[in-house]
Structure 1
Amino acid sequence: MSYVQRAEPSQRPTAEERHATWLELFFDLIVVTGTAQLAHVLHGEPSLADVGLFTLLYLAFWTIWMCFTVYGNVAGDRARTRTMLLGMLGMAVLAASVAGVHEGEHLRAFAVTYVVLRFVASGAWRRRGQMLVDWPVAQFSAGVTPWIVSIWVDGRARYWLWGAGLAIDLWATLSFSAHKLQENAEARRAAVERRAEKRGGISERDSQRLDFTLAHVDPVHLGERLGLFTIIVLGEGVAQLVTVGSEADWDHTLRSIGIAGFLLLVSIWWLSLVRGYGGVPNLRESALPPRLVLLLHCVTNGALTALAAGLGASMEHLHGELTENVRWVLCGSFATYLVISLVGAVVSRRAAKVPVGWGGLLGHVLPPLALSLTLGAFGGRLPAVAVVWLLVAGVGWSLLGHVARRRT
């Protein structure tokens, strides 16, 4: 049947590597404001409820950013400027809503903007006649339904609806592999063709359903965009140190904790961007399918955003002890980052078909992980500067392990 267009994966150019365009770099500026606003949710004395709210807001913000990022990745120079700028404007509204997130009107504005942006991003793929197989959330609208309902819901039920929508997106990320999506597309195509044969022709509606291609992301370009996101998040950590430090007396303790915070961020930069891929520590390119890389990137940068807030709070408690909640934000986020670094190292070695070397790997990850959790649980009597320096010692131990393995 010649009128049926077969779906073929889009092929990325191999002649030269494509880098982020000026439009994409301009679009990423919204991440600067967004991460700063999200970090402020954890300022002061963050409760468990504040941490949960931060998680929901961060996941929503990251999801929207990723929807437009993968669109720009596949579309390249043909990406519509209007679509990208509309996404940027909407994300600015999301960031502005975070400041008054405990107010009903701001929460409703956040939900409405999220829903609108999801449909804008999905519409961009329909206009291109493509189905993205590497991250189906970009076009999967089931997760948006709870957000639509939340617009007319007040109280804690709204947060549960947001969580349900994000959980559906997570399920789609883990369930819909590229191979499975291709099989489903071919099965749907075959069903439409059978109906057309029985009717003696294909309708205009069925023709539109068949007229699409399967698109794949450019992993090199995607890694660059993901890395830029991580750079911006690390920049928020630097901004926290500078902002709080500029308002305090420049004594020995301030200089000490400032240097410790800087060394901590430098170590994370090395693990995530020099020794990692897409901001995920210790991960090599092509070690995982893109959808799983995006999942690890999401968790990694959520932890780093919380870590930036923790560093700012440590500077605020310069000459005293960290409260339990602040200490757990700092140490818990660092522990989460260490777990991701272990996952990145393991999957990269298995993808390269080399021995994992569990003994040496765990020997350089478990001690700093145990240290950070111990500090979170029992470090109440330690001054803030001591807690930060101990975290630096922990990441230093992990870095020594990388140096030793490279020499071996």
Structure 2
Amino acid sequence: MAVDGPMVFLNGGAARRVMRARDPREKHRAATSLELLFDLCFVVAVSQASQSLHEAVTSGHYMAGTLAYAIVFFSVWWAWMNFTWFASAYDPDDTPYRLAVFVQITGSLILAAGVRRAFDGTDLTVITWGYVVMRTALAALWLRAARADPDRRRTTLRFALGVAACQIGWVALLFLPDGMRLPGIAVLVVAEIAVPVWAQSAGMTPWHPRHIAERYELFTLIVLGESVASATGAVRTAFDEHRGTGQLGAVAAGGLLMVFAMWWLYFARPAHTLLATTHRAAGRRFLWAYGHYLIFASAAAVGAGLAVNADRVSHRAEVPAVAAGALVAVPAAVFLVTVWALHLRPHHRRPAESVPFLLAAALILLTVFSPAPALATGAVLAALAVVVTVQGGRAGAD
């Protein structure tokens, strides 16, 4: 186990300059305070993405806003996820490592500063350079791991090469004509996703199931918290202006039910037990890791949807009822289906256990046509949480 404890602090990191691979069977492995700081700073970028989606929809830019949100959130999630898996494999917690993480945090804040310009579609410069700063620092960490871990040198060098090549592509994208940027983004997204698959075809890096599960759980809490914050801000503004207070109560109540139920469903089963059983199944591991993009993005989008509904019922924005309802119902349904597919279905012993999830997702989509879509969606999710709890109790009794 590559942890020397107090020696790092006594010698300023000089006692250990080798980035050895962590033991995937290490006991009591938990998220570090540096990882928690990393997550906390990424909240800024998540918040900017959610707020920008809210503003795009209230301005009538439904499709363009959704597309911009998907791209921006990808950059946030991808940088977070890649560092998370790297830290599960290599985390010496010495001075060079900490400084490299600080550089990545700085990049996330630069990226957050450029989110609004990216949503306008006129200036991708700031968000691109923020992303490049984050990813270049990670490439440097992969080079350090290559030097210290000869058994996995091919894998780590592939990671460093792939990440660096993609960053060159993102910078080059800034010089393309506007009409070529969207296809260029699509190509680079595919290239980014392919890097871990290509790199680990040369050999797997070690990772700790309980540590990875905890890191994903913590980020889920962050995006759920962002949903609460977005909705609270919109509802507070409307109350301050004394607009639509009766209908706002339904939006607020629905938002609380949604967040409570989403938390309940995600944490209904421990993820680390599932990951432990798929430790040697690379395909299922990639599916679980990559699929969380939909969980995180949809959870944060729910906050934007609640804010849009608050603006609509308080007459602060002219948004069609169906559009406002869809911005709540669609992300909630995506969250539900993805959590079921990745997190819960593998634990089911009978196909019938999946029926309530699919039925609930269909009902949630129908709430688009409800006069109070947020409250109706929250009620459906809360009812599903009750069903899941009862099923879990019966399974435990069996």
TM-score normalised by L of structure 1: 0.77
Aligned to 1:25: 36
Equivalent in 306, 314, 330 of residue 301 of structure 2? 306
Higher helix proportion = 2
In the TM superposition, 1:121-140 aligns within 5 A as: 121-129=138-146, 130=149, 131=152, 140=162
Give the 3 Å change call, closer, same or farther, for CA 259–347 of structure 1 in structure 2.
closer
When Rg is computed on C-alpha atoms for both structures, the one with the higher figure is: 1
How much has 1:287 moved relative to structure 2? 4.9
What is the Cα-based RMSD across aligned positions, in Å? 2.8
Structure 2 CA distance for aligned equivalents of residues 117 and 15 of structure 1: 28
Give the 3 Å change call, closer, same or farther, for CA 23–147 of structure 1 in structure 2.
same
Aligned to 1:161: 184
Aligned to 1:207: none
Three-state SS of the structure 1 residue aligned to 2:29 is coil
- Aligned 8 A contact 2:166 2:191 in 1: yes
Three-state SS of the structure 2 residue aligned to 1:29 is helix
Three-state SS of the structure 2 residue aligned to 1:76 is coil
Give the 3 Å change call, closer, same or farther, for CA 23–403 of structure 1 in structure 2.
closer
CA displacement, residues 64-85 of structure 1 (integer Å, 9 cap, x when unaligned):
1223223333333435111000
Equivalent in 231, 247, 252 of residue 241 of structure 1? 231
In the TM superposition, 1:4-403 aligns within 5 A as: 10-12=21-23, 14=25, 16-43=27-54, 44=58, 45-78=60-93, 80-102=97-119, 106-129=123-146, 130=149, 131=152, 140-141=162-163, 142-172=165-195, 175-176=197-198, 178=200, 180-182=201-203, 215-249=205-239, 251-277=245-271, 284-288=274-278, 289=282, 290-318=285-313, 322-344=320-342, 348-349=346-347, 355=349, 357-362=350-355, 364-376=356-368, 379=369, 382-383=370-371, 386-403=372-389
Give the 3 Å change call, closer, same or farther, for CA 276–59 of structure 1 in structure 2.
farther
- Aligned 8 A contact 1:241 1:315 in 2: yes
- Aligned 8 A contact 2:238 2:314 in 1: no
- Aligned 8 A contact 1:314 1:322 in 2: no
- Aligned 8 A contact 1:61 1:91 in 2: yes
- Aligned 8 A contact 1:253 1:318 in 2: yes
Unaligned runs of 5+ residues in structure 2 are 1-19
Unaligned runs of 5+ residues in structure 1 are 1-8, 183-213
Give the 3 Å change call, closer, same or farther, for CA 167–301 of structure 1 in structure 2.
same
How many residues align structurally?
Answer: 350
CA displacement, residues 334-354 of structure 1 (integer Å, 9 cap, x when unaligned):
1111211221256523xxxx6
CA displacement, residues 205-240 of structure 1 (integer Å, 9 cap, x when unaligned):
xxxxxxxxx631222112222111111111111111
TM-score normalised by L of structure 2: 0.79
Structure 1 CA distance for aligned equivalents of residues 192 and 44 of structure 2: 25
Give the 3 Å change call, closer, same or farther, for CA 177–87 of structure 1 in structure 2.
closer
How much has 1:145 moved relative to structure 2? 4.8
Identical-pair percentage: 21
Aligned to 1:190: none
